[in-house]
């Protein structure tokens, strides 16, 4: 039975690696708060004569930034028209666990350590979450409901939440909100985190049945297996139909997930089928419109239970989704905009209102520092997230935003070890890839104003950005990324703990000259 449960979980989340490295953990990032012997937060109690604002975060897993249009998500657009939209928001990772952990800690994946797939989902206790700060330092009620199975772990990525549960879907929000509204202490402010998979594959309306059905059921979908023999055909059915996914799994077992993972991340690149990408994209957009309706009903229920009074409401995502734009389907593996650019809409009291659009770089890991400043809470030290509250009332510029990804045999199924880092501003995008096995560092750069789809590499395929000119702030961020990648590559130091203990080649190319800041 244990093996069956593990296999079922792996299949249902085969496109979503889960876990934070328990073996050979990275050195923890400096904690942003200190605790006494009883575990109470020290030195962050502040004046509580005025009740602090509430925070509700609705995070739609796998929602691309270009979903935020009147045609695709009319209700979310109506929220944006009343609130604040940040169209250049960027996720710190192209998959769920490191991205959400960054959101909840203000640290990049390399800072919090939750960047290794298929291991126990454990966040090092030395890393402080914002939920811990709000609960222990400012007496907030904290609750998290997620479709991710990693919520219930001790020292999990959601440590600091005292209430919550898994599995969660917005289709079941009514029951959850009723229960939370009845049991919470109404004298206390609250932080409510709702994380839904309903835009995730299998794409399309109703393809995330709620309440969740057993994976192993006896009924068949009517699928003719004689017509489903090629990896691309299996992928088509698995990623667009819950019933057919279950049917195929019941008949073929866990080997099915390996076939799909290999195809979406390698097979499609080697043998692209544009008609499949179009089919998946169409199903995805139909599902997104359905999700928009679920957001509407969720917000209506929040209002009905009086949970939008003195409340900042955030609707966002953890990462995007690829449909062949750069040779892969689904998510992970790459740091192009279709995978890391996300919607970010905030509503509530001033300054989170007025239908304003705030251009310029902002990261998902900046949202919680912004709320802390707005709620008059002491900011965490030594985090990489930054408050953008000032930008909501002034013309202060954005900042370059980093994203990271780590690839190895666990999450690729291939003999590979790569570290990817990107830097994004409103105009520029820089990507550096260190291949540990080949001992090479390759760079890409894009002018997003002239080339928003990132199809024309300014490096012209040379893998070096010598001679390119960027603005000073972006150039400085690029050099920070270069120092980390090249410094480790030249010294032969590990950028992350390999689960296999294998050595790697020293970098064979020469570090390029510093980028120019002539623009």
CATH of the domain at 457: 3.30.1120
pLDDT given at position 336:
98
CB 413 within 8 A of CB 258: yes
The answer as to whether 300 is a domain residue is yes
Residue whose entry in the numeric block shows the structure tokens 């980093």: 402
pLDDT given at position 16:
36
Q: Which of 313, 342, 424 is nearest to 62 (CA)?
A: 342
The answer as to whether 223 is a domain residue is no
Same domain, 340 and 433: no
Same domain, 375 and 427: no
* pLDDT, one tens digit for every residue, the chain (519 residues): 333 333 333 333 333 333 354 333 332 333 334 444 443 444 444 444 478 999 999 999 999 999 999 999 999 999 999 999 999 999 999 999 889 999 999 999 888 877 655 454 567 778 899 999 999 999 999 999 998 876 555 456 788 899 888 888 999 898 888 889 889 999 999 999 999 999 999 999 989 988 876 655 555 667 777 778 899 999 999 999 998 888 888 877 778 888 888 899 889 999 899 999 999 999 999 999 999 999 999 999 999 999 999 999 999 999 999 999 999 999 998 999 999 999 999 999 999 999 999 999 999 999 999 999 999 999 888 899 999 999 998 878 899 999 999 887 766 767 778 889 999 999 999 999 988 888 788 999 999 999 999 999 999 878 888 778 899 999 999 999 988 887 766 665 555 443 333 334 455 566 677 787 754
pLDDT given at position 498:
38
Same domain, 471 and 377: no
Same domain, 381 and 442: no
User: For residue 181, what are the contacts with CB-CB under 8 A and spacing of at least 6?
Assistant: 305, 306, 307
pLDDT given at position 340:
98
Domain hosting residue 421, numbered range: 417-491
- Maximal CA-CA distance, the chain: 69
Same domain, 475 and 370: no
pLDDT given at position 497:
41
For residue 192, list its beta bridge partners: 56, 143
pLDDT given at position 352:
97
* Host H or E run for residue 97: helix 96-105
Same domain, 460 and 390: no
The answer as to whether 108 is a domain residue is yes
SS3 181: helix
Same domain, 379 and 427: no
- Which of 399, 434, 454 is where one domain is finished? 399
For residue 57, list its beta bridge partners: 193, 314
CB 170 within 8 A of CB 200: no
Same domain, 283 and 389: yes
SS3 18: coil
CATH of the domain at 135: 3.40.720.10
Within 189-332, residue ranges assigned H as helices are 231-238, 242-252, 255-262, 268-270, 274-304
Provide the number of structural domains found in the chain: 2
411 φ/ψ angles, rounded to the nearest 5 degrees: -105, 5
d(CA 86, CA 357): 6
Q: Which of 448, 397, 450 is nearest to 422 (CA)?
A: 448
User: For residue 273, what are the contacts with CB-CB under 8 A and spacing of at least 6?
Assistant: 232
Report the Cα 374 to chain-centroid distance in Å: 23
d(CA 137, CA 44): 6
Same domain, 395 and 468: no
CB 143 within 8 A of CB 177: no
The answer as to whether 487 is a domain residue is yes
pLDDT given at position 107:
93
The answer as to whether 179 is a domain residue is yes
Q: Going by DSSP bridges, is the β-strand pair 163-165/418-424 parallel, antiparallel, or unpaired?
A: unpaired
- Which of 367, 399, 431 is where one domain is finished? 399
Same domain, 429 and 375: no
pLDDT given at position 26:
31
CB 258 within 8 A of CB 265: no
The answer as to whether 224 is a domain residue is no
User: For residue 192, what are the contacts with CB-CB under 8 A and spacing of at least 6?
Assistant: 54, 55, 56, 57, 143, 144, 180, 307
The answer as to whether 519 is a domain residue is no
The answer as to whether 410 is a domain residue is no
Same domain, 447 and 354: no
Beta strands in 15-169 (DSSP E): 34-35, 41-42, 54-60, 84-85, 89-90, 141-146, 163-165
Same domain, 18 and 148: yes
């Amino acid at each position: 039975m244990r093996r069956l449960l593990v296999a079922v979980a792996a299949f249902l989340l085969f496109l979503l690696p889960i876990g934070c490295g328990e073996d050979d953990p990275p050195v923890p990032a400096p904690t942003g708060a200190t605790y006494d012997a009883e575990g109470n937060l020290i030195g962050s109690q502040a004046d509580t004569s005025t009740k602090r604002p509430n925070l509700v975060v609705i995070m739609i897993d796998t929602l691309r930034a270009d979903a935020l249009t009147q045609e695709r998500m009319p209700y979310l657009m109506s929220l944006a028209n009343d609130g604040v939209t940040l169209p250049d928001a960027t996720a710190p990772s192209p998959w769920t666990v490191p991205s959400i952990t960054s959101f909840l800690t203000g640290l990049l994946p390399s800072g919090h350590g939750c960047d290794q797939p298929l291991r126990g989902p454990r966040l090092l206790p030395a890393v402080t979450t914002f939920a811990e700060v709000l609960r222990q330092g400012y007496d907030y009620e904290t609750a998290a409901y997620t479709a991710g199975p990693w919520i219930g772990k001790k020292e999990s990525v959601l440590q600091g939440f005292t209430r919550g549960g898994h599995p969660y879907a917005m289709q079941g929000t009514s029951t959850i909100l009723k229960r939370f509204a009845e049991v919470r202490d109404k004298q206390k402010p609250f932080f409510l985190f709702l994380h839904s998979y309903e835009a995730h594959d299998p794409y399309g309306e109703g393809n995330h049945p709620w309440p969740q059905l057993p994976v192993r059921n006896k009924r068949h979908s009517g699928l003719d297996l004689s017509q489903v023999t090629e990896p691309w055909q299996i992928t088509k059915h698995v990623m667009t139909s819950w019933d057919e996914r279950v049917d195929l799994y019941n008949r073929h077992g866990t080997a099915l997930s390996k076939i799909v993972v290999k195809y979406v991340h390698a097979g499609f690149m080697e043998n692209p089928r544009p008609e499949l990408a179009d089919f998946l994209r169409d199903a995805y957009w139909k599902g997104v419109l359905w999700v928009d309706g679920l957001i509407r009903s969720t917000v209506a229920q929040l209002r009905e239970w009086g949970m939008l009074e003195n409340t900042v409401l955030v609707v966002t995502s953890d990462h995007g989704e690829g449909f062949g734009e750069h040779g892969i389907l689904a998510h992970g593996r790459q740091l192009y905009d279709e995978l890391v650019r996300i919607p970010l809409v905030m509503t509530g009291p001033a300054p989170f209102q007025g239908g304003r659009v705030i251009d310029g770089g902002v990261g998902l890991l900046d949202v919680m520092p912004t709320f802390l400043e707005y709620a008059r809470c002491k900011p965490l030290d030594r985090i990489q997230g930054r408050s953008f509250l000032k930008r909501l009332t002034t013309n202060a510029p954005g900042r370059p935003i980093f994203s990271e990804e780590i690839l190895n045999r666990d999450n690729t199924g291939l003999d590979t070890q790569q570290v990817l880092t990107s830097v994004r501003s409103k105009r520029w995008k820089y990507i550096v890839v260190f291949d540990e096995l080949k001992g090479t560092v390759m760079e890409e750069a894009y002018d997003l104003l002239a080339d928003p789809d990132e199809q024309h590499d300014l490096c012209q395929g040379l893998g070096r950005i010598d001679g390119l000119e960027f603005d000073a702030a972006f150039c400085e961020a690029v050099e920070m990324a270069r120092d980390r990648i090249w410094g480790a590559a030249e010294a032969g130091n590990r950028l992350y703990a390999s689960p296999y203990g294998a050595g790697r080649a020293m970098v064979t190319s020469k570090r390029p000259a510093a980028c120019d800041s002539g623009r």
